[in-house]
Amino acid sequence: MVAAGLDGRGTLLLDDDHVSLKRAAAIIKAGGLVAFPTETVYGLGAAATNDEAIKKIFHAKGRPQDNPLIVHIASRDQLTLVTNQLPAEAGPLMDHFWPGPLSLVLPRAASIPPLVSAGLNTVAVRMPDHPVALDLIRLAGLPLAAPSANRSGRPSPTSFKHVLQDLAGRIDAVIRSKACVLGVESTVLDLTGSRPVILRPGGVTREALETALGRSVPLVGQRYRGAPPPSPGMKYRHYSPRAPLLLVTGPEERRKGFIAAYCAHCRRQGLKVAYLNRYISGPGLQSCAADRIAALLYRALRAIDTADVDLILAEEIDTAGIGLAVMNRLRKAALRTIKV
Ligand code: TXA
Ligand code: MG
């Protein structure tokens, strides 16, 4: 039976059983938009080969047209629709990390409309490690272009409820499934230059890439003045919660001391302060494993948004492993960084 209902604003809620996914696939084949779960965050999917459907993604998200989308495939056979040239490192990386949170930037094939890649002659592609995502792509019978299913500038959604907070009434359907396990987006690795470079740290760690490739893999700088950034997404201050976020960096003891004093000061001024750590792990961000912080980060930022606070305080974490992706998101969400 197809379990479906409307959310009240015209977006269809579909369950994640096979029959419901067939209905979702039909919507995609007809040029519609369906939000679906992946192991990283929810994606907003459309047929990657359909120019009109791609336009709808940019419109629904309010996304700048110069920020390209990631194409999702369910099998390597579908690669021929996406790219016609595989750099030497591509095969071994796919063997090692797919399905999984690694998006590879490759030369773009003509069957992918330029709009998907914001006019670039490259395209980012990944095979998600999620049974629902893979089934949906297989049933649709074509690759799906899918950015994160949030309004542009909001934290990425890690549950279908987050998708509805941002996009109810703006998209055709959302698949009701469990919360996303990783909680931060895929690593974007560019294979079109003289050596592989990380454009966005994410679910596959830099260390794991370096081990697999047997060489160092640079993370391209996040600050670009003048020259166009290698990944257009870099120039936007993504992942912004509604209240200003201050990121406190420096030795742990000094951070804690500063935060205690600052919170007391704000309270005296009548300001409501949210301490991000408490929303994730209780007393200290450091005391919590980085993968747990990653999994709960966006959910915490959204919870703080609804708590209607004046200010958010966050602490830096170690950049080993998935910590690099967490710090990248915190820096982008932050209005200011305070070094103590
Ligand atoms: O985990 C993820 O990657 C999720 C799920 C849904 O797969 N998707 C996601 O998409 O995070 P989005 O659109 O929010 O982020 C895509 C990032 C952007 O920073 C964009 O600039 C970069 O990938 N990107 C996409 N295509 C690119 C290309 N051809 N060259 C350089 N960067 C590209
Ligand atoms: Mg996004």
pLDDT of residue 316: 94
- Ligand 1 contact, 124 CB (< 6 A): yes
Q: What is the pTM of this model?
A: 0.94
Q: What is the mean pLDDT of residues 71-86?
A: 97
- Please say if the pLDDT value at position 239 is more than 80: no
Confidence of residue 277 (pLDDT cuts 50, 70, 90): confident
Output the residue whose Cα is nearest ligand 1's atom 20: 233
CA distance 81 to 121: 14
CA distances for 139 relative to 98, 143, 149, angstroms: 19, 10, 20
Q: Is 187 in the pocket of ligand 1 (CB under 6 A)?
A: no
The preferred substitution site among 65, 67, 70, 130 for testing ligand 1, maximizing ligand atoms within 8 Å of CB, is 70
pLDDT at position 288, please?
80
Name the residue of 41, 185, 190 whose CB sits within 8 Å of the most ligand 1 atoms, as the mutation to test its pocket. 185
Average pLDDT over the chain reads 92
Q: What does the alpha-carbon distance between residue 134 and residue 221 come to, in Å, rounded to a whole number?
A: 33
Block residue for tokens 């369906």: 34
Asked if pLDDT for residue 105 goes beyond 90, the answer is yes
Contact 148 CB / ligand 1 (< 6 Å):
yes
The answer to whether 199 and 190 have CB atoms below 8 angstroms apart is: yes
pLDDT at res. 123 = 98
- Could you tell me which residues come within 8 angstroms of residue 246 by beta carbon, excluding any fewer than 6 positions away? 311, 312, 313, 314, 334, 335, 336, 337, 338
Look at residue 29 in the predicted model and tell me its pLDDT.
98
Q: At residue 1, does pLDDT exceed 60?
A: no
Task: Please tell me the distance from the alpha carbon of residue 230 to that of residue 212, in angstroms, as a whole number.
Answer: 23
pLDDT tens digits, 219-233: 997 544 444 556 665
Residue partners of 289: CB distance under 8 A and separation at least 6? none
CA 10, 11, 16, 17: dihedral to nearest 10 degrees? 30
Q: Which atom of ligand 1 is nearest to the CA of 202?
A: 1
231 lines ligand 1 (CB under 6 A): yes
Q: Report helix angle 160-167 to 290-306, nearest 10.
A: 40
CA of 60 to the centre of ligand 2 (A): 13
Task: Please report which confidence band the pLDDT of residue 319 belongs to, taking 50, 70 and 90 as the band edges.
Answer: very high
Helices within the chain (DSSP H only): 18-29, 51-61, 79-82, 90-97, 131-140, 160-167, 206-213, 252-268, 276-280, 290-306, 323-333
The greatest distance separating any two alpha carbons of the chain, rounded to the nearest whole angstrom, comes to 62
Q: What is the pLDDT of residue 242?
A: 83
Q: Is 199 in the pocket of ligand 1 (CB under 6 A)?
A: yes
Confidence class of residue 238 from pLDDT cuts 50, 70 and 90? low
CA of 299 to the centre of ligand 2 (A): 15
> Which residue has its alpha carbon closest to ligand 1 atom 6?
43
pLDDT tens-digit readout, 12-60: 999 999 999 999 999 999 999 999 999 999 999 999 999 999 999 999 9
Cα of 336 vs centre of ligand 1, distance in Å, is: 25
The residue contributing the CA closest to ligand 1 atom 29 is 123
The predicted pLDDT at position 283 comes to: 59
Q: Within a 13 Å sphere around the CA of 223, how many CA atoms are in the beta-carbon half?
A: 2
The pLDDT value given to residue 233: 58
Determine if ligand 1 sits within 6 Å of the CB of residue 40.
yes
Query: What is the C-alpha to C-alpha distance for residues 128 and 72, in angstroms, rounded to an integer?
Result: 7
- CA 205 to centroid of ligand 1, rounded, Å: 16
**pLDDT score of 217 more than 60:** yes
> What distance in angstroms lies between residue 156's CA and the mean position of ligand 2's atoms?
6
Q: DSSP labels for 313-335?
A: EEE----STTHHHHHHHHHHH-S
**Strand ranges across the sheet with 245-249:** 273-275, 311-315, 245-249, 336-339
Tokens of 111: 């069957």
| Band (301; pLDDT cuts 50, 70, 90) | very high
Question: Quick check: CB of 146 below 6 Å from ligand 1?
Answer: yes
Of 192 and 235, more confident: 192
Instruction: Kindly list the protein residues that place their beta carbon closer than 5 angstroms to ligand 2, a single-atom ion.
Output: 148
CA of 284 relative to ligand 1 center, distance in Å: 31
pLDDT tens digits for range 114-155: 999 999 999 999 999 999 999 999 999 999 999 999 999 889
* Strand partners of residue 145: 46, 71
User: For the segment 149-180, what is each residue's pLDDT rounded down to a tens digit?
Assistant: 999 988 999 999 999 999 999 999 999 999 99
Whether pLDDT at 321 is above 70: yes
Indicate whether 185 pLDDT > 90.
yes
Q: At what angle do helices 131-140 and 18-29 cross, to 10 degrees?
A: 50
SS3 78: helix
- What is the DSSP pairing of strand 70-72 with strand 122-126? parallel
